[in-house]
Amino acid sequence: GPEVVAGPSADPKCFVPWADSTKFFKFPAKAGPYRVALANGYIANTWRIQMIQTAKAYAAQPDVAARLKEFKVVSTGEDVAAQIAAVNNFIDSGYDAIVVDAQNPEAFKPVVRRARQAGVVLVAFDNILDTEEAINVDVDQKGLGVYWAKWLVDTIPNGGKILEIRGVAGTSVDRDRHDGIHETLDKSGKKWDVIEVYGKWDDPTAQKVTADAIAVQKHFDGFTAQGGDTGAVQAMIDARQPFVPFGGETENGFRKFCAKYGADGLKCASGGTGPAQVAVAIKTALAALEGQVVPQSVKLPLATAEYPNFKDGVNFYSNLSDNFFVGNSFPTCGINFNAAEIMGQSKENK
């Protein structure tokens, strides 16, 4: 297992500790090149596909490739037990570091223990692990909710009726973002009436529930969505609901709409962390393997853009897919994928 040491970390600009109390790890330095594995769960959506493309692209960058002996990716589907088995297999097969996008953040206690015993560096991202024993590269999900709500509070002068389009029930991401939104709204002192629907982070579903809500409620003063935002805007357009402020995620399609209709009232705050966070996770893993000091919990910055700052080719891409997630730059970590790079990656390989 790693030694718990005092901060700061080797690269304090990139590896920002989550809180003042965050521990710092120092693993015994190993000689490279390393065998690193990515244990992904579900794969069949754009976010995950993009994430895997990014991981491959990052691992192929010359300075990273030089430090890697092997980079292996396995996707095990929805089933958390299969993912646990995959991580165990990686441990047994002698990989030096394992990067995980967990299906269920709570389910990895035994795995974390096993990795520790085997001296394997375990780094979780996106859905981080509920543990202080492994490294988490963490998005501030609650902070994202706070960000959207704060922006709505600032943009809508007198409060009003908000449609909150939630994600998948039963997940911690959904809960954290929801909590962030509500705490902020409640504290604002304005009067808010929030209607909640579940859009499952999916455009058609979000569109359908939004359309239903508009048909029944007639009018909203603001929107906030955790995903499926493009669909939600589409539903506004289809229902001829006048454009109102919208705090949402970082889908390319959403930003396209925001750029196009911003002047007509669709003022947006678009924030989130794109799939490129996998690169930060790999970077962290490599740093740990090399014996550098890293925080147990790394706080990822949010990639945000607000009305009227949507610029084609910079923070959205009109010629690319709507499903593409745009928040891919972490300048403090020297990670700055542009869209074409990610989407074109395997085309060049093939």
Report how far residue 49's alpha carbon sits from residue 17's, in angstroms, rounded to the nearest whole number. Answer: 28
Tokens of 270: 């678009």
Q: How far is the CB of 5 from another protein (least distance, A)?
A: 28
Tokens of 341: 């790079």
Q: How far is the CB of 140 from another protein (least distance, A)?
A: 17
For another protein, give the closer residue by CB, 19 or 169: 169
For another protein, give the closer residue by CB, 75 or 155: 75
The residue whose two tokens read 């009726």 is 161
Q: How far is the CB of 42 from another protein (least distance, A)?
A: 7
Q: How far is the CB of 59 from another protein (least distance, A)?
A: 11
Rg (CA), the chain: 21
For another protein, give the closer residue by CB, 10 or 239: 239
Q: How far is the CB of 314 from another protein (least distance, A)?
A: 19
Residue from 68, 67, 107 nearest 87 by CA? 107
C-alpha 187 chain-centroid distance:
26
Report how far residue 276's alpha carbon sits from residue 280's, in angstroms, rounded to the nearest whole number. Answer: 7
For another protein, give the closer residue by CB, 278 or 286: 278
Q: How far is the CB of 87 from another protein (least distance, A)?
A: 9
Q: How far is the CB of 218 from another protein (least distance, A)?
A: 7
Report how far residue 226's alpha carbon sits from residue 210's, in angstroms, rounded to the nearest whole number. Answer: 13
DSSP, residue by residue, 218-246: ---SEEEESS-HHHHHHHHHHTTPPP--E
Q: CB 278: neighbour CB atoms within 10 A?
A: 30
User: At 336, which helix (H) or strand (E)?
Assistant: strand 335-336
Which residues partner with 72 through β-bridges?
37
Q: How far is the CB of 40 from another protein (least distance, A)?
A: 7
The residue whose two tokens read 């604002």 is 188
Residue 2, burial from CB neighbour count under 10 angstroms (0-12, 13-18, 19+) = buried
Question: For residue 8, is the peptide bond before it cis, meaning its omega torsion is within 30 degrees of 0?
Answer: yes
Q: CB 74: neighbour CB atoms within 10 A?
A: 16
For another protein, give the closer residue by CB, 52 or 181: 52
Tokens of 235: 């539903």
For another protein, give the closer residue by CB, 61 or 217: 217
